Amino acid sequence: MNEQINDLQPSETGKRPSDFPFQLFRIDNTSFEFPAPELLPQELQVGGICLCLHGECNMTLNQQRCQIKAGDLCVFLPRMQYQISEQSDDFEAFGILTQAEIMREVDIPSLADLLLYIGEHPCISLDETTYQRIIGYFRLIDRLTHDNHPYCRQIVYHQLMILYYEVSNIFQQGKPLEMRPQTRQEAMFRQFIAQVSRHHILERELGYYADKLCVTPKYLSSVVRSVTGKSAAWWIRHTVIIDAKNLLKSSQLTIQQVSDELHFPNPSFFGQYFKRQTGMTPKEFRRKSF
Contact 234, 242 (CB under 8 A): no
pLDDT at 273 over 70: yes
Is the separation of the CB atoms in 141 and 96 below 8 Å?
A: yes
Q: What is the CB neighbour count within 10 angstroms for residue 179?
A: 17
Distance between CA atoms of residues 267 and 247, nearest Å = 14
Per-domain residue ranges for the chain? 10-181, 184-289
Q: Find, among 99, 78, 79, the residue nearest to 20 by Cα.
A: 99
Q: What strands lie across the sheet with 22-28, from one edge to the other?
A: 22-28, 92-98, 47-54, 72-76, 123-125
pLDDT digits (tens, 9 = 90+) for 112-166: 788 888 888 899 999 999 999 999 988 888 888 777 778 888 888 888 889 989 9
CB 51 within 8 A of CB 93: yes
What is the spatial distance between Cα 211 and Cα 199, in angstroms, rounded to a whole number? Answer: 13
Instruction: Kindly report the backbone phi and psi dihedral angles of residue 243, in degrees, each rounded to the nearest multiple of 5, phi listed first.
Output: -60, -45
CB contact set of 107 (below 8 Å; sequence gap of 6+): none
Give the class (CATH, top level) of 184-289: mainly alpha
Average pLDDT, the chain: 83
Confidence band for 221, pLDDT divided at 50, 70 and 90: very high
Taking 70 as the threshold, does the pLDDT of residue 34 lie above it?
A: no
CATH tag, 10-181: 2.60.120.280
- Confidence grade of residue 20 (pLDDT, cut at 50, 70, 90): low
The predicted pLDDT at position 290 comes to 64
The model scores a pTM over 0.85: no
**pLDDT tens digit string along 86-113?**
778 888 998 888 876 677 778 887 777 8
